[in-house]
Amino acid sequence: MPAPPKRIGPKRRLVQWLATLVILVVPFIRVGGESLLRLDAQSRSLLFFGASLRIEEFYLFLIAVLIFVFAFLFVTMLFGRVWCGWLCPQTTLGDLADWIDRRLGRLGLPVLSRLLRQVSYLALSLLVASNLIWYFIPPGEFVSRLAAGRLGPVAGISLASVALLVYLDLALVRRSFCKTVCPYGRIQLLTMERSTLTLEFDPRLKGECLRCGACVRACPTGIDIRDGLQIECINCGRCLDACRGVMEKRGRDGLIHYTFGSAEQGGGRPWNRRSALFAAVLALLCGIFAWGVGHRSEATLKVQRSAGGEVKRLPDGAVVNFYAVYLENRGTRAARYDLEAGALPGHRVELIGPVRGLELAANENRRVDLVLKLTPAPAAAARVQLKLLREGKPVAEAHLPVLAQ
């Protein structure tokens, strides 16, 4: 007796719940005392796997966006809408809502079932909204601020708005979003080619179809896979399992399968010049991004002349200039820094002010007011190098413009 055909439903659900678990758990993971992945609005920085990328480092954000775009195109070109059916949170939420409906429908108490259903939708909506806020506010801080009523207007309105949208989605929309509103299916048509992975009703076996309609009933978007490729198909494979279940009773495999296209139509080769080009560009962008993150300065040093700070000549022939120096610790840990002025041939250089043992917390900015004294005064304008040191090693530098009078 032949082995029963394998179902892909359990594999799809495993992928869905693993992806959901990752989304829920990531905000709780900490690296070097900071979140693994979080956008910190207060410091205008992206905490990313131990690195802190500030908004001033726009080029890294641009590269990250390009990586996302090319990864999106590459995955869609190879696997079509597998994202929609296997990984998309919208699909996972719809499946969970369907499961809740089935379980509560078995109670046999219509009024109680409807009430519990809406309560479940609301609880799930609040969890989704809170999880989104955790990528901006650490979960521990979020809970304490929420309990104390200090969540703030922006976070509070965001929490309520997202929860309301998710609740309406679960109660009224679900798969209708995939069929009518979601732009992903439309964009897919621009990236698909003959070798893109799709679900196909094998036309060669059309005569063996029993016309039972099991594939149509199983489809969450209500399409008929027998009519060929359709934009509403999310590649979830439910029709595949349904067909296999019916044909199994006749000792046959199903009539629906995943395919990278047929060789007769020029497909069947997912790894081709086009996909190799996308993969090469994606690898190059990832390499540039990794290099940029690895070689970025751990601290910055900026200098401005103090507003209203006059240039003063001293009786001993020296000249004094006043500056406002801005320090920034871009690291994920607190650090101690020193400021040191470089040499200027023929002159004695002195820094007056707080220049030793400057403690900066992670992502902290600080202003330091300094005085530079040159003896004797230079005959013309000059520049003195200013170094920021950590444990005796320079981590950033700037130049102090010195006016003679």
CATH number at residue 367: 2.60.40.10
The answer to whether position 214 is within a domain reads: yes
Claim to verify: residue 220 and residue 308 sit in the same structural domain = no
pLDDT at residue 91 above 50? yes
**Which residues have a Cβ under 8 Å from the Cβ of 73 and sit 6 or more positions away?**
191, 278
Q: Per-residue confidence at 290, pLDDT binned at 50, 70, 90?
A: confident
CB 139 within 8 A of CB 132: no
CB 234 within 8 A of CB 91: yes
pLDDT at residue 81 above 90? no
**What is the arithmetic mean of pLDDT over 272-297?**
87
Output 296 or 104, whichever has higher pLDDT: 104
The answer to whether position 291 is within a domain reads: no
Distance between CA atoms of residues 274 and 194, nearest Å: 12
pLDDT at residue 264 above 80? no
Claim to verify: residue 18 and residue 139 sit in the same structural domain = yes
Which of 257, 286, 315 represents a domain boundary (last residue)? 286
Tell me: cis bond preceding 401? Omega within 30 of 0 counts.
no
The answer to whether position 343 is within a domain reads: yes
DSSP state of 376: S
The answer to whether position 3 is within a domain reads: no
The length of the chain in residues reads 405
Distance between CA atoms of residues 99 and 13, nearest Å: 12
Q: Per-residue confidence at 238, pLDDT binned at 50, 70, 90?
A: very high
**What is the arithmetic mean of pLDDT over 68-94?**
89
pLDDT at residue 5, rounded to an integer = 58
Claim to verify: residue 139 and residue 209 sit in the same structural domain = yes
Q: Which of 200, 210, 229, 403 is closest to 321 using CA atoms?
A: 403
pLDDT at residue 3, rounded to an integer = 56
Claim to verify: residue 208 and residue 328 sit in the same structural domain = no
Whose tokens are 């139509």? That residue is: 265
pLDDT at residue 380, rounded to an integer = 85
Q: Per-residue confidence at 309, pLDDT binned at 50, 70, 90?
A: low
- End-to-end distance of the chain based on CA atoms, in angstroms? 100
Q: Per-residue confidence at 61, pLDDT binned at 50, 70, 90?
A: confident
Residue type, 314: L
Which of 223, 252, 286 represents a domain boundary (last residue)? 286
Q: Across the chain, what does the average pLDDT equal?
A: 87
Whose tokens are 């439910």? That residue is: 238
The answer to whether position 121 is within a domain reads: yes
The answer to whether position 4 is within a domain reads: no
Q: Which of 11-25, 151-165, 323-337 has the lowest mean pLDDT?
A: 323-337
Q: Which of 69-73, 97-101, 191-195, 305-309 has the lowest mean pLDDT?
A: 305-309
**What is the arithmetic mean of pLDDT over 365-378?**
90
Residue 237 backbone zone (phi > 0: left; psi -120 to 50: alpha; other: beta): left
Claim to verify: residue 72 and residue 104 sit in the same structural domain = yes
Q: Per-residue confidence at 126, pLDDT binned at 50, 70, 90?
A: very high
Q: Per-residue confidence at 262, pLDDT binned at 50, 70, 90?
A: low
pLDDT at residue 150 above 80? yes
Claim to verify: residue 280 and residue 339 sit in the same structural domain = no
DSSP state of 342: P
pLDDT at residue 293 above 50? yes
pLDDT at residue 1, rounded to an integer = 44
Instruction: Write out the residue range of the structural domain in which residue 361 sits.
Output: 299-402
pLDDT at residue 193, rounded to an integer = 79
E strands present in 204-274:
256-259
Distance between CA atoms of residues 23 and 132, nearest Å: 9
Claim to verify: residue 269 and residue 322 sit in the same structural domain = no
Report the predicted TM-score, pTM, of the whole model to 2 decimal places: 0.76
The answer to whether position 2 is within a domain reads: no
Q: Per-residue confidence at 42, pLDDT binned at 50, 70, 90?
A: confident
pLDDT at residue 186 above 80? no
Q: How many domains does the chain have?
A: 2
Tokens of 241: 């399992």
pLDDT at residue 120 above 90? yes
Claim to verify: residue 160 and residue 229 sit in the same structural domain = yes
The answer to whether position 212 is within a domain reads: yes
Which of 286, 311, 345 represents a domain boundary (last residue)? 286
